[in-house]
Structure 1
């Protein structure tokens, strides 16, 4: 069960030590009826943008939970931003991927309509799919007690990724690549010889990237990398790579 609940306007209400903060709506209902929170228990509230307050529950109602604040924590966003570009996949494999990647440290996720994606979003499905991903990411961030809730980007095309590759360090998971993810970062991955650029990790669908997609991304500056000798499913490749990058960046 989650030990973090979200109130988007937390920063705008009194939230210093000694203040009482209310949780209402769906978040309060979840705390009261799903988590079965009781008076005297400890919990945390966050705004999803770095502010988290902790405290003791003083009142529990079906649609209203009150906590007395005894701690306030503000967390800066990471110096190097990790974005997972996840190709749409059949079943719930893409959803499993973004859920685990959020728990493991992805700072943003972007749905990608790849050439070989079996699942297709079009028309009303685009908005519905993006909202579904936002819900999954939000709940995963709460489960992991993350002070920053990852952003969910709009459905991207390969042309969109080409543009993104010119503005960041893009790593494309490709089983046939000669470079290993464990070798990253190298000196050329640093901007101006000092700071690392934001990292965009691209994961293809069940059938992998097409040769045309891989060539276009490489031409734009992306680097193909492999995880190891095994070929992982699209639902596990991204989270595994995010975990490896978290170690490389010193987050873990």
Structure 2
């Protein structure tokens, strides 16, 4: 079984001693019950991680380790951004969890026109913070070297600007829609430096949103024969993408 992963601000050099404290130390000592002599992984969430030997624990939240092999893992290519329309509250963090475990690089929360959930003011800040926390937790569970970036809440104009930039830079934009004209498996991802997949809310993408984003170079795509919940669509699409690109080559 892969050793458990814990986040630190910076990964120390091989041979050095390091201390894990705070919430991560508490999780290691009190929840996971790590003990002297065990192996753990420390990561910074930015691609660097290290195999470490546990030297000692103290109190309820301090773990002392000796750093062994240190490795830097580059992000997989192509870079994948998912623009996720806000799901209903009970499924909001589930969507982030599933996409993170499936390997997403960037998640953009989007206030689409048909969203039932509405974020504004401090609610938007709290919502983004919860998504970032969910992404860090899921990345730890999945033993990911990179914690996905969670962008600030986006308007449709923000999404439009992002998609236009990606298309202009030679990337691809796919709008996942049950009435999409193009099968996902027929897309040619070769050479695309970045892929943006746009996922609507429970009520689906609005026709005006589809028309606007396809006019910018996006493609309306059907993922498969089943109609997926918005919380699951991103993870399923990432799995399909991993199988047809080099993202799963490692």
What band does the TM-score fall into relative to the shorter chain?
over 0.9
Give the TM-score taking structure 2 as reference length.
0.92
Match of 2:8 in 1: 7
Q: Secondary structure at the match of 1:167?
A: helix
Structure 2 stretches lacking a partner, 5+ long = 167-171
Instruction: Find the partner of 1:207 among 195, 203, 210.
Output: 203
Q: Secondary structure at the match of 1:5?
A: strand
Structure 1 residue 80, shift from structure 2 partner: 1.4
Q: Hey, what's the Cα distance between the residues in 1 that align with 2:198 and 2:7?
A: 29
Match of 2:152 in 1: 154
Match of 2:165 in 1: 167
Q: Is the 8 A contact 2:183 2:224 kept in 1?
A: yes
Q: Hey, what's the Cα distance between the residues in 2 that align with 1:225 and 1:2?
A: 39
Match of 1:134 in 2: 132
Give the TM-score taking structure 1 as reference length.
0.92
Provide Cα deviations, 1:193-215, integer angstroms capped at 9, x if missing partner: xx312011111000001111111
Question: Structure 1: which 4+ aligned runs deviate by more than 4 Å?
Answer: none
Provide Cα deviations, 1:170-224, integer angstroms capped at 9, x if missing partner: 111011112111122x2xx55xxxx312011111000001111111111111111
1:32 is the counterpart of 2:33: no
Q: Secondary structure at the match of 2:53?
A: strand
Q: Secondary structure at the match of 2:241?
A: helix
Q: Hey, what's the Cα distance between the residues in 2 that align with 1:178 and 1:211?
A: 13
Instruction: Find the partner of 1:196 among 182, 192, 197.
Output: 192
Q: Hey, what's the Cα distance between the residues in 2 that align with 1:149 and 1:69?
A: 21
Q: Is the 8 A contact 1:171 1:202 kept in 2?
A: yes
Q: Hey, what's the Cα distance between the residues in 2 that align with 1:92 and 1:203?
A: 17
Q: Hey, what's the Cα distance between the residues in 2 that align with 1:199 and 1:59?
A: 44
Root mean square deviation, CA, Å: 1.5
Match of 2:86 in 1: 88
Q: State how 1:213-252 maps to structure 2 within 5 Å.
A: 213-252=209-248
Q: Hey, what's the Cα distance between the residues in 2 that align with 1:116 and 1:37?
A: 46
1:59 is the counterpart of 2:56: yes
Q: Secondary structure at the match of 2:49?
A: strand
Q: Is the 8 A contact 1:100 1:239 kept in 2?
A: yes
Q: How many aligned positions are there? A: 241
Structure 1 residue 31, shift from structure 2 partner: 0.5
**CA distance 1:202–1:2, change in 2 (3 Å):** farther
Provide Cα deviations, 1:94-147, integer angstroms capped at 9, x if missing partner: 321111110110011110001110010011101100000000000000001111
Q: Secondary structure at the match of 2:228?
A: coil
Structure 1 residue 2, shift from structure 2 partner: 7.8
